[in-house]
Structure 1
Amino acid sequence: MTEVPFIAIEGPIGIGKTSLAKKLSVHFNFHLLREIVEENPFLGKFYNDIDEWSFQTEMFFLCNRYKQLEDIEKKYLDKNRAVIADYHISKNMIFAKRTLQDDKFKKYEQIYHILTKDMPVPNMMIYLHASLDTILKRIRMRGRDIEQNIKPSYLAQLAKDYEDYMNEFEVLHPDIPVIRINGDETDFVKHQDDLDTIIQHVGRQLNNHQVISK
């Protein structure tokens, strides 16, 4: 069965998801779907006081990502137009499990499953990962004001949560290829050879799984 490409890129904060998504969208001529981050009015407050602002922050992200995916399905995937996204909506559960208290998480989880029940599922995942030192360095380099108060301990735990999530994802979705990229060893922004290697890998997966662009 041939599928329209829908690729999602995932990994911790600052790892380079958007940068890679942009480069791959240009190379393969896929529509670029970027997550809404800085538009979230609660995010700065969240990094200053996670307990106080976690529910508002996560609900904003969930509702906006739901709307984005709904639009993408209608305007692109249903019309056989390929898409590459710099996030997968299931990332919401990674953050919610870490930041929400039990009572609020139960409410959030119910809403999440209702909204995402019929959402389109990517047919390829790219997982970017790196050490805490590399993640911190890249966050400093991009210089977003709202990220300057992120605690290293939070980022370290988040990186572990992502690793656990991706290991589980591969077990639950053996039919969806996952390309793992080590950010400590690869710099696709500075080195064209690194980018070319990723492009070749993605191209092989598209061909192997009969995912084609129309």
Structure 2
Amino acid sequence: MKQAPFIAVEGPIGAGKTTLSSLLAEELNLPIIKEIVEENPFIDRFYQNMDDWSFQLEMFFLCNRYKQLEDTIGQYIAKGKPVISDYHIYKNLIFSERTLKGINRDKYRQIYHILTDDLPRPDIIIYIKADLDTLLSRIAKRSRSFEEGIDKGYLQQLIEDYDVAMASLAVQEPSTVIVTIDGNTIDFVENRLQFEEISAKVKELIQ
């Protein structure tokens, strides 16, 4: 691969997506697209009552990410410039398949495909894979109030859903390179050498 105009960092809640994408953006001198999380007006209510607020939460995320990708990533890709994002639009399906049910899930799937089927897909996905204890530890460190008391069962299911999703993307998007990082043993924040190994791998792929 001579150039990767679009790099996405993915993983379940607390994996370190934004941290790693920010470090790589600085190291590789790339523009970065960060998803909006805390600005979602439904997020507090969602964690208090997932059944009542999941559709509103997921629709906000979908519309916001769609607008970001359409406006910002499209500008860079159109100019042949690399860009890095701390999410893949596919994450909307990962979460909505777990949080939505019945008619709401069916409606959401339809809207998702209408909005995203013609959006650019990443050339590289950096998938941070981590177990429950690692995620809980990182979630606690960042101290987001709405994540306090996050349901462990929900988080464990997301871990499994992400593994299935990455396998599915490998089939659906065969030209995409998926780089899996073991988040349990690799600390790209505290261990500079481990971060440089990740960075070197990405540089190799985009040269």
Match of 2:18, SS?
Answer: helix
Residue pair 1:33, 1:85 contacting (<8 A) in 2 also: yes
Q: Gaps (5+ residues) in structure 2?
A: none
Q: Deviations over 1:150-191 (max 9, x none)?
A: 101100000100001001111222221100001111000011
Residue pair 2:2, 2:205 contacting (<8 A) in 1 also: no
2:46 match: 46
2:30 match: 30
Residue pair 2:31, 2:83 contacting (<8 A) in 1 also: yes
Distance 2:162 2:82 in 1: 26
1:141 match: 141
Distance 1:121 1:83 in 2: 12
Would you say 1:175 and 2:175 are equivalent positions? yes
- Which AA in structure 2 matches 1:68? Q
What are the within-5 Å matches in structure 2 for residues 41-120 of structure 1? 41-120=41-120
Residue pair 1:127, 1:180 contacting (<8 A) in 2 also: yes
Residue pair 1:9, 1:125 contacting (<8 A) in 2 also: yes
Q: Gaps (5+ residues) in structure 1?
A: 208-214
2:14 match: 14
CA positional deviation for 1:144: 0.6
2:191 match: 191
- Which AA in structure 2 matches 1:80? G
Distance 2:4 2:131 in 1: 34
Match of 2:8, SS?
Answer: strand
CA positional deviation for 1:75: 2.7
2:131 match: 131
CA positional deviation for 1:73: 3.5
Distance 1:204 1:166 in 2: 21
Q: Deviations over 1:33-66 (max 9, x none)?
A: 0001000000111111111100000000000000
RMSD: 1.2
Distance 2:193 2:25 in 1: 17
2:154 match: 154
CA positional deviation for 1:203: 1.4
Match of 1:94, SS?
Answer: helix
- Which AA in structure 2 matches 1:131? D
TM superposition score normalised by structure 2: 0.96
Residue pair 1:125, 1:178 contacting (<8 A) in 2 also: yes
2:205 match: 205
The count of corresponding residues between Structure 1 and Structure 2 is 207
Residue pair 1:48, 1:149 contacting (<8 A) in 2 also: no
1:212 match: none
CA positional deviation for 1:124: 0.6
Match of 2:199, SS?
Answer: helix
Distance 1:127 1:188 in 2: 13
TM superposition score normalised by structure 1: 0.93
CA positional deviation for 1:4: 5.0
Identity among equivalent positions (%) equals: 49
Distance 2:73 2:186 in 1: 32
Distance 2:12 2:74 in 1: 29
1:211 match: none
